[in-house]
Amino acid sequence: MSAAFKNLVRRFFSRGAKPGSEHPDFDGDTDAAIKASQREERRLSLAAYRRLCADLDAPTFEQMRNFALYVSEIHPWHKLLPPSHSQYPFYFYIDPYAGMQRIRLSDEKFDVAWRDRTGFHHSWLPTDVYRERFGFLAYANGKAPGVADASGSGPVRVASDFFPYIWDSKTKHLLELPFEILEAGMYHGNSFVSPRAALILPGLLRKEEPLVWPEASGGEAIVTLMRERIAQLEAQYGVEGVADGTERVPYGVDEDAIPDEVLYELTVKERIRQIDLMAAMAQRACSLIYPRINREPFHY
């Protein structure tokens, strides 16, 4: 593992950002430096992490693929991630408490609880349903919304998909994953992993900078077809009818908007490519825990 990767991860996790923030840099902040040092002490070694996961069933290839598909759909990544290489990668790993509800007790301590029904967010599946579909797979991305449920008078229920931490039942602290797992399970996705990414195309293609489309997903020929389709829509609805914005327009970026079917189909191959790569990174991370899982990613 490269020293550059370790330094990158240390810098990312020493920023002390809260969910939903822009990860402000705390260089020179004494309190933040102390907290960063404490977090470093809570980083698991690969050997310790393997011991924690030793009695957990390894996920099947089908569960890995299903999990990647699930992750691609649970948040509006077309709004949260850029259309090109993202500085906020997805991390895939095994979590002994995957699918359980994380509960904030204080700034430093948490608890977990079994979920009997779907929780505050639609991605908070009942634990038994989650485990059946995905096993003990988990993910994190620094652009996840940081969903929290503060309803009621009890502790706040929080999402567990912002930082790649796992819960320690003894101390109730969150433990950081080994560098080896972070590196193996890291994937730099972009907005086109989302099933609704076609909604951003009209505004994106009006910008001066070119849209670089992977050759594996059709390359420049696909971008040309996208431009032609947008021109057809503009001729039919007018430029305002296919503009980005918050107004309810036929093909704009709107929570209730439906992507144009043709534009959607043009993005499908790239979305599938990214989902397959996410599943492959989950497999790579799992291969460091379960000897029977091939280190070389399976071609889904």
At 124, phi and psi to the nearest 5? -85, 75
Residue 13, in any domain of the structure: yes
pLDDT for 3: 55
Residue 167, in any domain of the structure: yes
Contact at 8 Å (CB) between 142 and 182? no
Residues 59 and 104 in one domain: yes
Between 160 and 14, the higher pLDDT residue: 160
pLDDT for 71: 96
At 249, phi and psi to the nearest 5? -125, 165
Mean pLDDT of 222-231: 94
pLDDT for 178: 96
Domain finish residue from 222, 238, 258: 258
The structure's pTM equals: 0.82
How buried is 76 (Cβ within 10 angstroms: 0-12 exposed, 13-18 middle, 19+ buried)? middle
Residues 184 and 127 in one domain: yes
d(CA 81, CA 146) in angstroms, rounded, equals 14
Which pLDDT band, with edges at 50, 70 and 90, does 253 fall under?
very low
Residue 268, in any domain of the structure: no
Sign, Cα dihedral of 46, 180, 174, 136: negative
Percent of all residues in the chain with a pLDDT value above 90, rounded to a whole number? 56
Residues 62 and 139 in one domain: yes
- Residue 222: domain span: 197-258
pLDDT digits (tens, 9 = 90+) for 105-156: 988 899 999 999 887 788 889 999 999 999 999 999 999 888 888 887 788 8
* Closest by CA position to 72, among listed 201, 212, 188, 192: 192
Q: How many domains does the chain have?
A: 2
Contact at 8 Å (CB) between 211 and 205? yes
